[in-house]
Structure 1
Amino acid sequence: MSEERLREFIKAWIRQDIEAVMSFIAEECIYETSTGPEPGQTYVGKEAIRKKFIEVLADDGDGELQIGLTFVHGDKGLSEWRYDYTDAEGRVIPQHGCDVFEFVGDKISRKSVFRKTYA
C-alpha cells in the first residue's frame, strides 16, 4: 500500500462512494470501531464490513471530515482526522481521532478506529 493509495481510500470515504471504498478492502479484513460492547466492535470479512460502512456513512449526514497527518510505513499506516457535526441543538461538535491500518499488498486488512470523546 502506498500513501497515495491510502489517500485515495480516504477520498472515496469522504465522497461516500461505497463501491470505491470497498475496492480497497481485503476479503478477510478486520474493522474495529471506536464504540461498542468490546470496547468498540469488531467486524470480520468484506460483506460484514460493507454493511457497517454503509451504516456509518449514512450516519455521517451533514458532517464535515477533515484529514490530517496520513502516512504508510511498510504494512502499517495511520490517518488522523477531525469530524465536525451539528447536534440537535444546533451546536457544532468536533471529534478528533485516527485510523490505524494494516495492509496486505495494496489492500486494507485491518482498520482500527480511535477517537477522543467528551467527558
Structure 2
Amino acid sequence: MIIEVNKDIDRYKESVCLGLTARQLIFSIASVVVGGGIVLLLYRYVELTVSAYIAIPAVAPIALSGFYSYNGMTFMQMMKQKIHFAFRNKPLAYISTEGEQEIVQIGAEEMATDKKKKSISDRRI
C-alpha cells in the first residue's frame, strides 16, 4: 500500500470544490456575484464592455483576498502593512555623536598606538 504524502506539509491545503480551498471558493463566488451585479445594473446605461471595465476595480480586491498570499499573509493583511508603513511609520533619523574634535582625537590615539607597536617591534630587532 502506497500513501503519498506532500513533501511540504505546511503548505498543504485541502480542496473543497474544483481544487479550490474554502476561502478561495467563497471569495470567487463573491467576486462573480459582485461583478455580475455591477454589469447587470450598468449595461442598460452604458454598453456591456464599459460596464465590465467598471466592474473590474470592484471585483479585483475581492478576488485577490481569496487567492493572493505573500509570506503567509493574505491580501488584506499585506495591504494593511503597506498602508501602515506608507503613512504611519515614523522616519528614522541618525544623529552623529562624533564631531570633528572626537575624530581628530581618535586619529591621534591610533597614531600613538601605531608608534608604540613600531617601537616594540624595533626593540625586538
TM bucket (normalised to shorter chain) is under 0.3
Name the one with the larger helix percent.
2
TM-score (norm 2): 0.21
Higher RCO (CA 8 Å, separation ≥ 6 residues): 1
Name the one with the larger strand percent.
1
TM-score (norm 1): 0.21
